[in-house]
Amino acid sequence: MRGRAKAAGDYLSNGISTIAVRLVLIAVMLVLPAASLGFVQGIDNNLFAKRFEWAPRTATGNIVFVAIDKHSLDAVGTWPWPRSIYATLLDKLIASGVKDIFLDVDFSTISSTEEDELLTAALARSGGGVLLPVFRQQETASSSETAVTRPIPQFLENAWPAFANVALDADGIVRRFDLGSQLDGNPTQSAAAALGRVDGSSGSLAVDYSIRPDTIPTFSLSDVLNGTVPAEAIKNRSVVVGASAAELKDIFAVPVYGAIAGPLIHVLAAETLLQKRFLRLFDQAPLELLFAALLIVGVIRSRSTGIVKMMAIGLTIVVIGEIGAFLLQWRYGMLVGTAVPWLMLLLAWMLALNERVDLGRMLVAIANTEARNARRLMRRIIADSSDGVVAFDSDLRIVEASASAKAVLRAEIGASLLASTDAAIVDVVRRLVAEHDGEPGNVHTALVDFSDKGSQGTHYEASVTISPIEQPHAHPASARSRFAGCLIIRDITARYDYEERLKALSELDDLTGLLNRREFASRLATLEGGTLVSVLDIERFSSLCATLGRDVGDELLKAVAVRLGNAFVGNLLARLDRDHFGIATPAVDAQAVEDFAEGLLDLFEEPLQLRGSAVPISVHVGIASSEDAAAGALLNAAESALDAAKTLAGRQWSSFDPSTAVRQARSRRLERDMRDALRDRQFFLLFQPQIEFASGRLLGAEALIRWNHPEFGLISPAEFIPIAESSGLICEIGRWTLFEACTEAATWPGELGVAVNVSALQFEQSDIEADVREALSNSGLPSSRLCLELTESAFLGQGGAVIAKMRALRETGIVIALDDFGTGYSSMSYLADLPLDKLKIDQSFVRRMRGNPTMLEIVRAIISLAHGLKLQVVAEGVETETEAEALQRLGCETGQGYLFGRPDEARRMLSKWNVRKRLSA
């Protein structure tokens, strides 16, 4: 009787268990469509990737990738690159006729002024066809506030901002891209949206990874700079410039292709838009619920159907479903997730199996077997792992350890973790235990680096994890203290050495091993106490390189670095650029600065030994102390002092002078403003009359340029012309002056002529003949009424080429005058060969004629010489009637000076001489 009751109880229990499993399976099938499970999304993502892989597409070729690869890094030799390299690249790309250019490079920090201005000028020349990246990122890891990192303002004046964020999914893989975001309240597109030629700037789209990256035209940046990439290969295409070298770590995980460079992701996103592959998902939940209901009904109604037949039906549904999903994704861009339906099929099969077998008992048996196998497998994994693996308990005793962990920690199973490991690991373990006591339900983990004291140069990374142990029946206080710990140790010596090499590459000058400019300035800003900064340069370094060769020049720089290193052990030393070196030492008193400077100069009294030869050198030194400028401005102050030392004759060193720095800053400011001044017509012309002595009539006028600066007011040509010549802008300014003068003179009546000064640099470097022809043609001024005035410096050292230009100009009918005669070399040997029409006597001679018989005779000789060469003579600086009468007696034909009129607007100048302008046609 008791046996039958037990059997009945077992039967009832088994029946209840079978029903419970059945209800659980049905409930799970119905809940699955509404549940958001990470592993389900992972299956769908893998299936999407496989469908991309099965139907590859070719890129359009409309976007070219110019890669900063290892070849390019080796060619330049430093990183970050000087911005002049990007300026050169932009000029070459624009010259090749490309469309848009996206520079995927961070320009958010200021480099040297010279390098930034070179890139700014290149962006201006590109005509606004360059995109620069902006990034939106969290201000801190725990903050929801975001900040935008953008290029420095002067770059954005001639470029477009484009968002360049790469969005990672929760599993660290890039699958989508943004079309844009808000920047300062304005909608701003992403780089992909701009290159993909779409209008939207909000929302996101999936990247079509069926487009193969190896079909995107890709060129090494160094090949583009070297000109080995034909222009036809990139003409009329958009260009993305960015890093592909593994050293730069701009690599992201993506479906299908594993890991690719960040810029290539932007290209693939843009290609997705260009090929109109707008991939889209839709809400499958209603269809999945319907499918679940059909499966449940089907299983319940087909209890007599065999398991094998049901499996065959299920496989058929899977095959047909996957083919349909593949076709929808390939042809129409619809991403159909099939993980949930196939999981439902699996659950339906288990439901059918439960109808025939006691699935509950079978699952328990399987679970017990798997638990035993898992424990065996875990021990084997720990024992065989190449990484060191240690398992420890809540008493911090080692319970399992791999052989490699035992070797590193020099500990055995059963030993205390605190007594066997590095102090850094002990500190982390104690901290995690304290965190576990505060939050016992959470997993706590941390990373720590440490070095093996027993081996030279071996570095490890340890990952420590403490996980709570579930104890449903334990006392709360006891349960709180129980946990399982795991320590994984990895040898990171190779990575550590690589990071140290990268750090050295970014901080040190590759040639000399000294600090580079950026690192020197950075460390200088952190120094405490008084500091003396010296900047040294090698005199005539360019000439030495031209004479001895570039290789010897490099050895010379190394030898200078060695000599400085021996003299200033323990101080900051840097090669700032080319032949400039920086030294930072503790400050000395004002009296000792001179001794310090003399001592620094004395270092180079002895010649340097290069390839068995003694090479003597001399240096200039600029010095600034922390009393003169703030830490961040000390280097600039020392360089300002160096510039002053190089301009002082007979002086090899100079200390910082604020007044000199102000003048230099003003000069730099004027140089920066000069191009805007030319564009905004801040320059204007005044005209000084030239009068015939014999008749007293107006012959013409000399055009004199002036600058009305919006902040500084009128600026003398004596100040801004040398700046224009040193910066190379004199050619553009001179061309503007020529065109303006010709246009104005064309409105004057009769045969009134206009004289225009031409700089020696302008005459040498520009196509002056073409400029003159264009100015005359545009204005309608007859060539005989234009006079070009040149100084002797225009043809000294290269007379043949200049004389040929002068003769070609005279053949067009214009007049050539030699200006400021007598103030230069005034060599008779070249004067006879010059194709001249006029000779202008400098005003310094004219003003000293009165009461100075010697000077009067010199002027007489100049006039006689000019007449002997059949040249007309113009005297400058005539201020009194006495001077005018004397010059007329000596035979001078023309006068110019305050006696006849100060430089003035053309209208007032002509009105004074009773001359009216012709009406312009």
* pLDDT tens, residue by residue, 788-812: 998 877 666 555 777 888 888 999 8
Q: Is the dihedral of CA 299, 305, 306, 312 positive or negative?
A: negative
Which of these, 278, 277, 240, 234, lies nearest to 262 by C-alpha position? Answer: 240
- CA atoms of 201 and 439, how far apart (whole Å): 43
Let me know: does 324 contact 287? Beta carbons within 8 Å. Answer: no
* Separation of alpha carbons 107 and 824, rounded Å: 48
Answer for the pair 388, 420: CB distance below 8 angstroms, yes or no: no
- Record the tokens describing residue 302, joined without a space: 């087909």
CA distance 488 to 421: 12
CB 777 within 8 A of CB 790: no
pLDDT category at 920 given cuts 50, 70, 90 is very low
R_g (Cα) of the chain, nearest Å: 42
Q: Which regions of 31-150 does DSSP assign to beta strands (E)?
A: 63-68, 101-103, 130-138, 146-149
In the predicted model, what is the mean pLDDT of residues 386-391?
Answer: 78
Tell me what pLDDT residue 65 has: 92
pLDDT tens string 198-210:
887 788 889 999 9
Mean pLDDT (whole number) for 592-619: 86
218, burial (CB in 10 Å: exposed 0-12, middle 13-18, buried 19+): middle
The pLDDT score that the predictor gives to residue 736 is 93
Q: Give dist(CA 356, CA 340) in Å, integer.
A: 25
Confidence of residue 591 (pLDDT cuts 50, 70, 90): low
Q: What is the pLDDT of residue 169?
A: 84
For residues 134 and 151, is the Cβ–Cβ distance under 8 A?
yes
- For residue 101, the cross-strand partners are 130, 239
**pLDDT (0 to 100) of residue 375:** 62
What is the maximum span of the chain, computed from C-alpha positions, in angstroms? 158
Length of the chain measured in residues = 921
Report, as an integer, the average pLDDT of 760-764. Answer: 83
| The amino acid at 637 | A
How much is the pLDDT for 797?
A: 55
Tokens 């680096």 correspond to what residue? 449
First to last CA, the chain: 132
Which two tokens mark 484?
Answer: 């399982």
* SS3 call for 91: helix
The pLDDT score that the predictor gives to residue 664 is: 65
For the residues 654-677, what does the mean pLDDT come to? 75
Q: What is the pLDDT of residue 385?
A: 63
Whole-number pLDDT of residue 16: 47
Classified as helix, coil or strand, 511 is coil
What's the confidence (pLDDT) of residue 379?
65
Q: Taking residues 512-539, what's their average pLDDT?
A: 87
Tokens linked to 759: 């700089």
- What confidence tier does 1 reach under pLDDT thresholds 50, 70, 90? very low
Task: Write out the H or E segment, with its range, that includes residue 864.
Answer: helix 853-868
**pLDDT at 5 (0 to 100):** 42
Amino acid 661: pLDDT: 58
pLDDT tens per residue across span 150-193:
898 888 888 889 998 888 888 889 988 888 888 888 888 898 88
Dihedral of CA atoms 353, 355, 360, 363 in degrees, nearest 10, equals 0
Any idea which of 148-152, 199-203, 220-224, 233-237 has the lowest mean pLDDT? 199-203
Q: What is the pLDDT of residue 13?
A: 46
Q: What is the model's pLDDT at position 471?
A: 61
- In contact, 508 and 519? CB cutoff 8 Å: yes
Question: 846-875 burial by CB neighbour count: b if 16+ within 10 A, else e?
Answer: bbebeeeeebbebbbebbebbeeeebbbbb
- What does the mean pLDDT of the chain come to? 82
Nearest to 629 by CA among 644, 619, 641: 641
Look at residue 376 in the predicted model and tell me its pLDDT.
65
Helix (H), strand (E), coil (C) string for 2-63: HHHHHHHHHHHHHHHHHHHHHHHHHHHHHHHHHCCCHHHHHHHHHHHHHHHHHCCECCCCCE
pLDDT for position 4: 46
Q: Find, among 165, 93, 102, the residue nearest to 132 by Cα.
A: 102
Burial (0-12, 13-18, 19+ Cβ within 10 Å), 841: buried
For the segment 493-505, the average pLDDT, to the nearest whole number, is 74
Task: Average the pLDDT over 49-62 and give the result.
Answer: 89
564: confidence class by pLDDT, cuts 50, 70, 90 = very high
Give every CB contact of residue 98 below 8 A, 6+ residues apart in sequence.
64, 129, 234, 235, 236, 237, 238, 239
Amino acid identity, residue 248?
L
Residue 158 CB coordination number (10 Å): 19
What is the pLDDT confidence band of residue 738, given thresholds at 50, 70 and 90?
very high
The sign one gets for the Cα dihedral 28, 30, 36, 41 is positive
Helices 799-811 and 768-779, packing angle to 10 deg = 20
Tokens representing 264 are: 């290539």
Question: Where does residue 913 rank: exposed (0-12), middle (13-18), buried (19+ CB within 10 A)?
Answer: middle
User: Does residue 7 have a pLDDT over 70?
Assistant: no
175 and 208 Cβ atoms separated by less than 8 Å: no
Task: Work out the average pLDDT over 695-723.
Answer: 89
Strands 815-821 and 838-841: parallel
Rounded Cα distance between 447 and 196, Å, is 42
Report strand pairing: 572-577 vs 580-586.
Answer: antiparallel
Instruction: Tell me the mean pLDDT in the region 692-710.
Output: 92
pLDDT at 3: 45
According to the model, what pLDDT value does residue 12 have? Answer: 42
* pLDDT score of 689 more than 90: yes
Tens of pLDDT along 895-909? 999 999 999 999 999
Identify the band that residue 339 occupies on the pLDDT scale cut at 50, 70 and 90.
confident
256 three-state secondary structure: coil
Res. 264: pLDDT tops 80: yes
Task: Please check the confidence at residue 862 and state whether its pLDDT lies above 50.
Answer: yes
Q: Which of 757, 766, 814 is nearest to 791 (CA)?
A: 757
Q: Residue 357 has which token pair?
A: 């077998």
The two tokens of residue 335 are 């991403």
Structure tokens at 240: 């993305």
**Average pLDDT for 596-619:** 87
Q: What is the pLDDT of residue 371?
A: 57
- Predicted confidence (pLDDT) at residue 365 exceeds the cutoff of 90: no
Average pLDDT of 659-672?
71
Query: Can you give the pLDDT at residue 784?
Result: 93
pLDDT score recorded for residue 362? 52
Residues 344, 26 contacting (CB under 8 angstroms): no
**pLDDT tens-digit series, residues 423-467:** 788 888 888 888 888 888 888 888 888 777 655 668 888 888 888
CA 751 to chain centre: 57
Q: What percent of the chain has pLDDT over 70?
A: 87
Per-residue pLDDT, 8: 42
Max avg pLDDT among 197-206, 316-325, 746-755, 756-765: 746-755
- What φ, ψ does residue 397 adopt, rounded to 5°? -105, 140
Closest CA to 715 of 679, 671, 756: 671
CA 854, 855, 859, 865 torsion-angle sign: positive
